[in-house]
């Protein structure tokens, strides 16, 4: 079963630019993957420009055969547009509340210094609630998914 997520950053003009990711969206996987491997705005922008993902991986990588699992590089993202030829899908929202209102299970937002996560559209007082990814993950969670 897929755990869907959304990955985004806030642009200079204040809009939210985001993509969907189908697999492993929980904080101990995609959250930790973002925290460890996507902490530079240029790499984050390049990730978003791939469009929707099947799987987030440590490296953006290059085009690969979406349907041939044996030939895929396990360290490269698997993207619907680049690797399967689907229409490019990148979403833009006016602000964070609009973005969260259309959210998957987990929403990851780069705040310019670190990754934040919203869990299942949680709101408080009409505003989205975010936690630091680093605070959402326990050592046991990391060990369970194979992070050292």
**Cβ proximity of 106 and 94 under 8 Å:** no
| Residue 148 pLDDT exceeds 80 | no
State the pLDDT at residue 139: 64
Nearest to 29 by CA among 7, 10, 52, 9: 7
Cα gap 62→66, rounded to integer Å: 12
pLDDT for 37-91, tens place per residue? 999 999 999 999 999 999 999 999 999 999 999 999 999 999 999 999 999 999 9
- Alpha carbons 42 and 91: distance in angstroms, whole number: 18
Residue 88 near residue 51 (C-beta atoms within 8 A): yes
Query: Residues 2-22: pLDDT tens digits?
Result: 899 999 999 999 999 999 999
Quick check: 117 pLDDT over 80? yes
Q: What is the pLDDT of residue 25?
A: 95
């Amino acid at each position: 079963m897929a755990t869907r997520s959304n990955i985004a950053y806030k642009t200079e003009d204040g809009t939210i630019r985001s993509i969907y990711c189908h697999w492993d969206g929980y904080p101990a996987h995609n959250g930790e993957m973002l925290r460890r491997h996507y902490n530079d705005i240029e790499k984050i922008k390049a990730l978003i420009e791939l469009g929707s993902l099947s799987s987030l991986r440590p490296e953006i990588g290059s085009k690969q055969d979406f349907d041939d699992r044996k030939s895929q590089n396990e360290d490269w993202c698997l993207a619907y547009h680049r690797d399967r030829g689907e229409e490019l899908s990148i979403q833009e929202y006016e602000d964070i509340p609009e973005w969260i209102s259309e959210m998957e299970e987990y929403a990851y937002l780069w705040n310019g210094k670190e990754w934040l996560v919203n869990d299942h559209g949680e709101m408080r007082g009409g505003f989205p609630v975010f936690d630091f990814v680093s605070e959402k993950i326990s050592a046991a969670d990391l060990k369970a998914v194979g992070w050292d």
